[in-house]
Structure 1
Amino acid sequence: MATVQQPVDNWVTGSDSYQTTLVTILSGQNLPEKKPLGVVSASGKVVAWDPAGDDGREVAVYITAYAVDATGGDQQAQVIKTGTFNPEQVAWPVGTTDAQKLGAFVGTPISLQLPV
């Protein structure tokens, strides 16, 4: 009988546990799992992280815990607020540079580290 190898999930790469929190995702977005998120300063609503933004979304503070479809209106969703994760599995925006990835979560309780 053949042994089936189970895939290794190396999303969580640190020894600390991760935590989530409930937020409001701004309408008009369809976000995949593991997407970096920022918060629009004027509304407090959460949007896809955009390093070129200038309204709060340029600071990555959360990560989607699962896919969220807010195309039809604002959606409440649990997002990751703390933990250490594999940067190779983050759903980075197209064109994100290595430098932007390295600085994305600086100053937050989210860390990125390759699996060891």
Structure 2
Amino acid sequence: MPDNSVSLSGRRDLHAVLEQVRIDFVQRLKIQLRQLQSIRAQIVTPGCDDDLRELEFIAHKINGLAKTLGFQSLGDAAESLEVAIASLELHPRVSDPSEVVRLLDALVLKIRTTCAGAQD
């Protein structure tokens, strides 16, 4: 029967790798924060479909990675934004574009908080 146990040094190695992945994720968040702020300035104007698609893509990436790496509330904020954008794209006459802006602002704040907490 194979030995499925992980040695103590193996656990330390895995922990070190996961911690580095989390650090890399936070560094990417800083880049994505700048992208989100740039998009924020554009989405309040008519004809911003490409910006909304890019915003949805960034939110989707943050959502998945954040939750995988233990940043649940950050992932939840990104998911809320992603859902609001999808709703706006499906029902542009019914959905409220200001909700996308509000959720984007909430995500930006959550990213700042996450990045600040990671520096401690």
TM-score (normalised: structure 1): 0.22
Greater RCO between the two (CA within 8 Å, min separation 6)? 1
Structure possessing the higher radius of gyration over alpha carbons:
2
Which structure's residues are more often helix, by fraction?
A: 2
Which structure's residues are more often strand, by fraction?
A: 1
